[in-house]
Amino acid sequence: MLPTAAGPIGVFDSGYGGLTILEGIRNLLPGYDYLYLGDNARAPYGPRSFDVVYEFTRQAVLKLFELGCHLVILGCNTASAKALRSIQQTDLPLIDPQRRVLGIIRPTAEVIGSLTQTRHIGLLATEGTIKSQSYTLEIQKLHPEIQVSGVACPFWVPLVEYNEADSPGADYFVKKRIDQLMSLDPQIDAVILGCTHYPLLMPKIKKYMPRQVRIVAQGGYVASSLKLYLERHPEMERLCSKRGTTRYLTTENPEKFKESAQIFLRQPVQVESVSL
């Protein structure tokens, strides 16, 4: 029997990028308990098929439920794109209709209409997210008049994870993809960073992005969306424990996770190993 006592808000990612989502949420909602799970042993999810991403994400969600979470945020664009809908529509009614799993694409899609004047926006993301067309579909569902142009940035995640985000070598890869995106549609006036690693490249992105273009990072918008969700659903809010704690779990070596997590959080963390 799954526990029914109040529990932490779960945040899941295939790797480390979801830590930028967690940080945005914690900054806005510091009083809640959080449980972060990184499936680092099987990352990256981006190149994997829909079926594999769905199965891996489902396993992680079940683990977070088992550990007491009633609400889980998929702090991963690939999981949100390839697994969220199946989990919401197929799995939750069978597992527990009272539990909730939310993604990070819709909050960004909801807000983008207020951030563009030209109605032309850009998307910089991983190959998997670009190929899924999830952002385009979600945005055009809400804002059918907006045109979306996307470019995959295959080297950006390794730059962050190998702590090269501030290196001179990063300039070439960042400038190349931004130039490619702007040449697709010079009318773009807002660009979504559709990968949770990319905010760590923000100084380089700002350096090469045309000054009139707004850069849209997800963390703050996901946090605001979660705050509104909890206000609208007091029955779920009551099931979220509130001691201001955070636990970190990884399917990889905890020492390796600690080392990489410091790149994202800029502070040491305690990490536990978990199997899915």
Reduce the DSSP state of residue 122 to 3 states and report it.
strand
Q: Which residues contact 82 (CB under 8 A, 6 or more apart)?
A: 45, 50, 53, 54, 57, 128, 132, 134
Q: Which residues contact 189 (CB under 8 A, 6 or more apart)?
A: 116, 117, 118, 120, 121, 212, 213, 214
Is cis: bond before 186, omega within 30 of 0? no
**Could you say which of 69, 76, 153, 240 is catalytic?**
76
CA distance 182 to 24: 28
CA distance 11 to 38: 9
Is residue 240 annotated as part of the catalytic site, yes or no?
A: no
**Could you say which of 69, 153, 195, 240 is catalytic?**
195
Instruction: Report CA 266 to chain centroid distance, whole Å.
Output: 18
- Which residues are identified as catalytic? 76, 195
